[in-house]
Amino acid sequence: MSHFLDRLKFMSRVKSTYADGHGAVVNEDRKWEDGYRSRWQHDKIVRSTHGVNCTGSCSWKVYVKNGLITWETQQTDYPRTRPDLPNHEPRGCPRGASYSWYVYSAQRVKYPMIRGRLMEMWREARKTMDPVAAWASISQDPKKAARYKSVRGQGGFVRADWNTATEMIAAANAFTVKKFGPDRVIGFSPIPAMSMVSYAAGARYLSLLGGACLSFYDWYCDLPPASPQIWGEQTDVPESADWYNSTYLMVWGSNVPQTRTPDAHFYTEVRYKGTKTVAVSSDFGEMVKFGDIWLAPKQGTDAALAMAMGHVVLKEFHASGKSAYFRDYIRQYTDMPMLVLLRQNQDNGDTLVPDHFLRASHLADNLGEANHPEWKTLQIDDATGEIVAPNGSIGFRWGEAAHNGGEKVGRWNLEMKDGGSGRTVEPRLSLVGNGDEVVEVGFPYFGGEHDELLRRRVPARRITLADGSSALVATVYDLQMANYGVDQGLGGANVATSYEDDVPYTPAWQEKHTSVPARLVVQVAREFADNADRTQGKSMVIVGAALNHWYHNDMIYRGIINLLMMCGCIGKSGGGWAHYVGQEKLRPQFGWAPLAFGLDWSRPPRQMNGTSFFYNHTSQWRHEKLGVDEILSPTADRKRYDGMSLLDLNAKSERMGWLPSAPQLGSNPLDVVDAAEQAGKDPVAYTVEQLKSGALQFACDDPDNPANFPRNMFVWRSNILGSSGKGHEYFLKYLLGTQNAVFGDEADAITPSEVNVRPAAEGKLDLLTVLDFRMSTTCLYGDIVLPTATWYEKDDLNTSDMHPFIHPLSEAVQPLWESKTDWEIYKVIAKKFSEIAGPYLGTRKDLVCTPLLHDTPGELGQPFEPKDWKAGECDLIPGKTAPSMTVVERNYADIYKKFTSIGPLLDKLGNGGKGINWNTQHEVKEIGDLSHTVTEPGVSQGRPKLETAIDAAEMILTFAPETNGHVAVKAWEALSKITGRDHTHLAEGREHDKIRFRDVQAQPRKIISAPTWSGLESEEVSYNAGYTNVHELIPWRTLTGRQQFYQDHRWMLDFGEGACVYKPAIDTKTVAPMLGKKPNGNPELVLNWITPHQKWGIHSTYSDNLRMLTLSRGGPHVWISEAEAKANGIRDNDWVEVFNVNGTLTARVVVSQRVPKGMCLMYHAQEKIVNVPGAETSGMRGGIHNSVTRAVTKPTHMIGGYAQLAYGFNYYGTVGSNRDEFVILRKMKKVDWLEGPLVETNKEGATQ
């Protein structure tokens, strides 16, 4: 309405004037202003954050008014940084600012829900049966089971009450434990750091009953295998504030402004002080706008680019002797001076090839080393020319006191001393000019256009071995020079005389593979190294998912890390390797672990490598087309691998104790112990006997035997079917037994030769229980969906690798509707399970198999040639040639009591991690005083309580050295005894600090320096990984104790990865069988499938949030290049279908010049529950980004029991890569929204 009349009447309403008539007081109603004022009124502000695995870990103000959450804004009270460093705040992003929408949205899961068909059968069975019998009558009847499994993902839920839902879960668990074994009960939840107590709730329940927790960091392919390989560390990186200390910053495949939004200000601010930035990205990502130079390699060729940069650095700064700093650094902190045996390769005309590191056990009298001489590597003292065993190798870490009566304990350090005599040594880097002869050494090459074995000249020394024979040895330094094609004045046919030579790995050679101009490679490498030389290491590389999600991700990362080690950047503030993929940094890790895995009540827990589990049980191996022979090195003994598939190698790895198994044995482990006791034998000895005779086998050797299926699965804090499930359609077909779009034919795949292959089984999982606050894709496929609290409705803890603070999730309002926190949900399940399973199961003994774990003496497995006991190559020795075996007693009536109290093992055995242990009796008493003790009679009487989530948080904070200064000092003391150096000064200044839950609710708290991490929390230096290794001379947890350029495990050598090499993307063979087979009249375009992290969501969270949908295109979309769109008649916003033999998806297309030709980019985790039409190829609704992927495992990631190459939960193991995939894209002819009634079909497609 016009306000014209109001304006005319204005002067008549003037009551008085002021300021000489310039101001007026008017007589009018101003109540309308109250609407604006009250909009921002609130009753309270509560601190919380978002448990969403974004690595932001931002502190937020949550506003509450009249008991309702109204909005959120960023907190700005982080502890200030030192004056020369920008503050961390403000931290946040648009996604987080929209989270309160979820709390009251229609997407909330408000009540327990059960699949309708399952509920109907359950109610009928419960009329006449007890809960366990009722579950058995349904799950073990093929027709009944198929009735509810076949409609998973197709709606049909009914509302249930908590008692019914938990009774069904408990009955299913109890039946499964007794019938099949506790290791058939599985749990999947990712990234504990984002909500530690919530993760611990489910893991604690599973661990107490003997179930298996699946790893996630490897399955997500966020785990960089190169980090364990080089450093013996899962992942340890600088905090984002340390970017500001860098003076040359390369951002390589990490879209910092988009995916690290809260930290991007450090990236922009460092440029203002003159730091040069280089962006390396195949597409024009957001971070490219910040770069002074943009290098755009063809996707998947980054290793070639990194190797060429390394060639420049080695030639200009090492071979020339230009940098004394670089040489001193690699001499002390890397394996460059270590000696490597050269062996003759008979398949290549007796060409010499690099073999194992020379060890003390190779020489006469073990070189005077009585303790683990086979695990002590050797070098030459430059002053005397003698071969010595320097301090710090893995052999000095374990068993020193037992062998030396305590006299030589404390030699596990990086002091430049001979371990035997204690005298100072100067390691010799090169044998050029002082070797016995120059020999040709063969290096494998996988690039295709040169010989597969490159023969290059290397200086060598001839030595006499313990058996009297002679052998040639070379230093890692000389082998690296030759591998990179750098001429040290020795000449030869395959070394470069200039950067223009087409010789692997020159700048000119890489240009053919990457398309990056050679001159830019030389410029950037030279600048990067020159800066590092002048600043003593302040050159940094930020890396991310764009590199780590390739099959040969470790080759890409090793190429980059080699560059950093050559330039002395690791462990130097402002320098180093900054890998940010996933919120992996659980800072109070070893305060959390006893809570999460029930280590206070029983040890060891069952933990399983997620990638191998899903590859196996979703039967993706049935469609495997990558042959082992395709990836073997030309130097390998191919007879060892004849006829073997990737699954065969994975099974071999599991039974040799390298990787874990779940399920573990082909029989119920409870029954195995019973059988042993009935036979009057020790259960471990009995199991060994049965395995050797063949009467018992590992479950991995017969994966599709129904006895070896995973039967019950919990998914919480995860949307595995809508986000991270590589091979999505295989999950649907084989694990869930429901509608799917798998087009591939099993007959076209490679058949395993050692693993028993049965007819394919579908619908292996009897019960899928999902906990979520929203109806995600995984919920839609679940059998039972339990409503959990949102991040503003629960108390929890949160940390990140991006900053040094710990802060909370807090209960701003109580959980709405019938939702409960994760802690309360699993507490209720534990109580119901104890009620049902107590009488049904009683007390049983469980045989637990554990792999040869990293950071334990078990990592000293087989030192040279790996032998398989099943093949008759060696004896079966638990903990050496096979998994360790432990008998654990489980009283199933006491699960609830144990869940809600702290057990006695922390009093008796203490706590620890990463190879050190400390006493915790004081902390047990302290937490008992804080949280009180149990008064009810039973196993938990007198023990500290764990009733609430805050109790659980206090347990974490009390037992972790990062949050309890007293514990930190004890932990540093424990490490000092092993290294022989005093490190306690690193924590003594904060010995009396104790961080409590209410402290972090008041303000984020900076954690305390602990020996479980390799950096320092200090006011003088920003956190930087490797800092204590360099400045405190603490060894890296590797075979040599140093950063390793070279890997000498037999499988590493056989697959050509002893040294870093360039390996092109693998051929997944998923496109050719589909080209032209399902035509719709439109052209078909073959593209590489790339799935980076998106702008409008964090993984799948927020992808259905109305605010984010409004800001984005509002549904699934893919990006392709302008040129290819034009050539194929595709316009922006057209509907397209993307498919291959793995499955299909539908989306709208974004046509953009930022995307290079040959690439199709789809931001990952755009769920199929919003705006997704049917697919023309399948006739079903389109899938997700993982519908066209399939996991492919890599043999070198299966290695175990070998120093740093040993399994640890989320530390090392097979990873779920997906970027080598290709797809067919075409414009859709007709968009069908499939809005008709549901028509059920059988497997043959006939209407039922």
pLDDT in tens, 645-663: 999 999 999 999 999 999 9
- In the beta sheet, which residues pair with residue 186? 212, 713
Pairing, β 351-357 against β 539-543: unpaired
Residue 34: band (very low, low, confident or very high) from pLDDT cuts 50, 70, 90 = confident
Contact of 1192 with 749, CB cutoff 8 Å = no
CA atoms within 13 A on the CB side of 58: 27
Q: Assign 1245 a pLDDT band (cuts: 50, 70, 90).
A: very low
Amino acid at 1077: K
433-442 pLDDT tens trace: 999 999 999 9
CB 483 within 8 A of CB 443: yes
Placement of tokens 């779009």 in the chain:
741
Q: What is the pLDDT of residue 685?
A: 98
Backbone torsions φ then ψ of 1148, nearest 5 degrees: -90, 155
Comparing CA positions, the residue from 87, 35, 107, 43 lying closest to residue 69 is 43
Report the CATH architecture of 238-323+501-579: 3-Layer(aba) Sandwich (3.40)
Give the pLDDT confidence of 459-468 residue by residue, as tens digits: 999 999 999 9
For every residue of 649-707, DSSP letters joined together read HHHHHHHTTSS--SS-BSS-HHHHHHHHHHTTS-HHHHHHHHHHHTSS-BGGGSTTSGG
**Looking at the predicted structure, is the pLDDT value of residue 632 above 80?**
yes
Structural tokens at position 1082: 């439109």
Max mean pLDDT range (528-532, 1106-1110, 1233-1237): 528-532
Instruction: State the CB neighbour count (10 A cutoff) for residue 238.
Output: 29
Q: How many CB atoms neighbour CB 28 within 10 A?
A: 11
What is the distance, to the nearest Å, from the Cα of residue 977 to the centroid of all Cα atoms in its chain? 31
User: Of 187, 179, 210, nearest to 667 (Cα)?
Assistant: 179
- DSSP-derived 3-state class of residue 553: helix
Half-sphere exposure of 245 (CA within 13 A, CB side): 24
For residue 838, how many other CB atoms are within 10 A of its CB?
A: 17
* Confidence at residue 302, expressed as pLDDT on a 0 to 100 scale: 98
For residue 811, the SS3 value is: strand
Angle between helices 646-655 and 610-617 (to 10 degrees): 130
Per-residue DSSP letters for 1092-1156? ---SS-BTTBTTT-HHHHHHS-SS-EEEEEHHHHHHTT--TT-EEEEEETTEEEEEEEEEETTSP
> Mean per-residue pLDDT for 596-601?
98
Query: In which band, very low, low, confident or very high, does the pLDDT at 407 lie, cut at 50, 70 and 90?
Result: low
Per-residue pLDDT of 36-53, as tens digits, reads: 888 889 999 999 999 998
| C-alpha span between 721 and 725 (Å, rounded) | 5
Instruction: Locate the domains of the chain by residue range.
Output: 238-323+501-579, 338-428+431-487, 1072-1189+1218-1227
Structure confidence at residue 1 as a pLDDT band (50, 70, 90): very low
Please check whether residue 1200 is in contact with residue 1143, taking contact to mean a CB–CB distance below 8 angstroms.
Answer: no
What is the helix (H) or strand (E) element at residue 785, kind and residue range? strand 784-787
CB 123 within 8 A of CB 138: no
CA 216/CA 190 separation, integer angstroms: 5
Q: Report yes or no: 208 and 202 within 8 Å, Cβ to Cβ.
A: no
- CB contact at 8 A, 1105 and 102: yes
Instruction: Report residue 1238's pLDDT band, with 50, 70 and 90 as the boundaries.
Output: low
Return the pLDDT at 4: 62
- Alpha-carbon distance values, 763 to 150, 714, 771 (Å): 8, 16, 21
Q: Is 786 exposed, middle or buried (0-12, 13-18, 19+ CB in 10 A)?
A: buried
Which tokens in the block code for residue 468? 């009297």
Q: One fold for both 238-323+501-579 and 1072-1189+1218-1227?
A: no
- What is the rounded average pLDDT of the residues 797-826? 97
The amino acid at residue 350 is D
Q: From CA 88, how far away is CA 86, in angstroms rounded?
A: 7
Yes or no: say if 1130 and 1149 are a contact pair by the CB < 8 Å rule: yes
Token duo for residue 1038:
């590797």
Token couple for 1247: 């209407």
**What's the CA gap between 1044 and 568, in Å, rounded?**
13
Q: What is the pLDDT of residues 198-244, one digit of tens each?
A: 999 999 999 999 999 999 999 999 999 999 999 999 999 999 999 99
Average pLDDT for 1116-1141: 97
Assess whether pLDDT exceeds 80 at residue 1247: no
- DSSP letters spanning 741-760: -----GGGSPPPSSS---S-
* 3-state SS track over 1203-1222: CCECEECCCECCCCCCCCCE
Summarize pLDDT for 902-914 with one digit per residue, the tens. 999 999 999 999 9
Percentage of residues in the chain having pLDDT higher than 90: 90
H runs (alpha helix) in 415-566: 476-483, 507-514, 518-535, 545-548, 553-566
Question: What average pLDDT does the chain have?
Answer: 95
* pLDDT band, very low/low/confident/very high, at 7 (cuts 50, 70, 90): low
| DSSP-assigned letters across all residues of 378-443 | -EEBTTT--EE-BTTSGGGTSSHHHHHTTTT----S--SBBTTT--B--B----TTTSSEEEEEEE
Quick check: 415 and 425 in contact, CB under 8 A?
Answer: no
Asked whether the predicted pLDDT for residue 103 surpasses 50, the reply is yes
- Characterize the bridge pairing of strands 784-787 and 767-772: parallel
Residue closest to 1204 by CA, chosen among 200, 27, 291, 232: 232
Report the pLDDT value the prediction gives residue 350, as an integer from 0 to 100. 87
pLDDT at 1246: 45
Q: What is the pLDDT of residues 990-1039, one digit of tens each?
A: 999 999 999 999 999 999 999 999 999 998 899 999 999 999 999 999 99
Predicted pLDDT at 282: 96
How many CA atoms lie within 13 Å of 1041's alpha carbon, on the beta-carbon side? 32
Q: Distance between alpha carbon 115 and the CA centroid of its chain, in Å?
A: 32
**Which residue reads 């930087």 in tokens?**
1024
Query: 1239: buried, middle or exposed (CB in 10 Å: 19+, 13-18, 0-12)?
Result: exposed
- Which fold is adopted by the domain 1072-1189+1218-1227? Barwin-like endoglucanases (2.40.40)
High-pLDDT (> 70) share of the chain, %: 98
* pLDDT beyond 70 at 115: yes
H or E stretch at 344: strand 339-345
| pLDDT, tens digit (0-9, with 9 covering 90-100), for 563-580 | 999 999 999 999 999 999
pLDDT confidence of residue 349: 84
* Of 1105, 1093, 1191, residue with least CA distance to 1142: 1191
Burial grade of 1039 (CB within 10 A; 0-12, 13-18, 19 or more)? buried
Residue 168 scores a pLDDT above 70: yes
Mean pLDDT of 63-85: 94
The two structure tokens encoding residue 493? 């046919």
Q: What is the pLDDT of residues 466-516, one digit of tens each?
A: 999 999 999 999 999 999 999 999 999 899 999 999 999 999 999 999 999
CB 11 within 8 Å of CB 26? no
Which pairing describes strands 1085-1090 and 1159-1161: parallel, antiparallel, or unpaired? parallel
According to DSSP, the residues that pair with 14 across neighbouring strands are: 26
Burial of 426 from C-beta contacts in 10 A (0-12 / 13-18 / 19+): middle
Cα 653 to Cα 1198: distance, rounded to the nearest angstrom: 6
pTM of the entire predicted model: 0.96
Distance CA 1053, CA 112 (A): 53
Q: What is the pLDDT of residues 1199-1226, one digit of tens each?
A: 999 999 999 999 999 999 999 999 999 9
997 and 808 Cβ atoms separated by less than 8 Å:
yes
